[in-house]
Chains A and B, each alone.
Chain A
Amino acid sequence: MKEKATRSYFPSRIALTIAWVVLIALTIGTIFTGRVTHQSTLGVPLFAALLLVTWAKAGIILRMYLNLRTVPAAADALTILVGLILAVIATLYVLPS
């Protein structure tokens, strides 16, 4: 019973692998939204999409890799903190230079 309790506290191999697949897929999304092979500017819609993808990736790392799914309040708090940082950066991006 102890072993079962210990193992179920951590995400299963399958859950971790799914999280990794989603993270890699989102990174491929970053390659497209960030237009990594182009030198043109992104513009507000693409940059907003880029930040949303980044926020989603951070949420997955916090909940699955860092196992904060066991403490949902902490996961939410840190996800909001990261979201606030990205929101400030987004605001600075749209401000006129």
Chain B
Amino acid sequence: MQDTENKAPENHESGDTLAGSWGVLSALPGHPMMWILIVSEILVFGGALIAFSGVRLGDPDTFRQSQDHLDRLAGALNTMVLLTSGLCAALAVNAIAAEKVSNARRWLAAASTLGVVFLGVKAMEYATKLADGLTPTTNAFFTLYYLTTGFHALHVIAGIIILAIVSWKASVHTIEIGTTFWHMVDLVWVLLFPIVYLMR
């Protein structure tokens, strides 16, 4: 019974004609290709954060003084916004699995809206920094700050587009894949925030 209850839904793999050729990756939720992307993204952002920590080692005073210009509380609140959008995305999968398509679309809309809120806070943060003359060329800290958070923001934009597409083409398979990308964006921010905003 346990095996039956834990098995993937019937259409979990059927959306992919190559489903049988993924080997052990076939057991992963969503699409194996998405997991290859997720591992790649963790390595890319992880490498960037390690580079950030390494460069900081060479000039910790400049990094600490530059970091004091960031709004740490806004960053923490933005973390909560993204985590809540992740809950909405997960509940969309839950709803579509229960064949409640309208509910699933509403949860996806809520997740996307919170993604827009996240981007709005980020945009205000950038505007404040730029108005203060703190640009990507100011010093190494701000180069890496704009690079990592900007690259992450691009992923949020891509995620919102993906959520819109899977909401349009709603099925368990599409929504599970789309929300997998969204949770990856969530995960990356959870790693990025304490290093870029709080490490001092």
Contact = CB atoms under 8 A, between A and B. Distances in A.
Interface of A: 1-13, 16-17, 19-20, 23-24, 27, 30-31, 34-37, 39, 41-42, 47, 50-51, 53-54, 57-58, 61-62, 64-68, 70-71, 74, 78, 81-82, 85-86, 88-89, 92-93, 95, 97
Interface string B149-188: 0000000000000000000000010001000100110110
B110 to A, nearest CB: 13
B5 A31 contact: no
A88 B50 contact: yes
Task: Specify which of B68, B73, B80, B199 lies most central, judged by the most chain A CB atoms within 10 Å of its CB.
Answer: B199
Contacts of B64: 41
B76 A51 contact: no
B198 A78 contact: no
A6 B39 CA distance: 26
Contacts of A97: 57-60
A39 B195 CA distance: 15
22 contacts: A2-B9, A6-B9, A10-B97, A11-B94, A16-B91, A20-B83, A36-B75, A41-B64, A47-B199, A50-B198, A61-B190, A65-B90, A66-B184, A68-B29, A70-B8, A71-B28, A71-B29, A86-B191, A88-B50, A89-B50, A92-B57, A97-B57
The B contact surface, by secondary structure, is helix
Secondary structure at chain A's binding surface: helix, strand, loop or mixed?
helix
Given A71-B29, A74-B27, A66 B180 contact: yes
Contacts of B35: 74
Interface of B: 4-10, 12, 27-29, 35, 38-39, 42-43, 46, 49-50, 53-54, 56-60, 64, 68, 72-73, 75-76, 79-80, 83-84, 86-87, 89-91, 93-94, 97-99, 172, 176, 180, 183-184, 186-187, 190-191, 193-195, 197-200
Contacts of A92: 50, 53-54, 56-57
Given A61-B183, A92-B54, A31 B86 contact: no
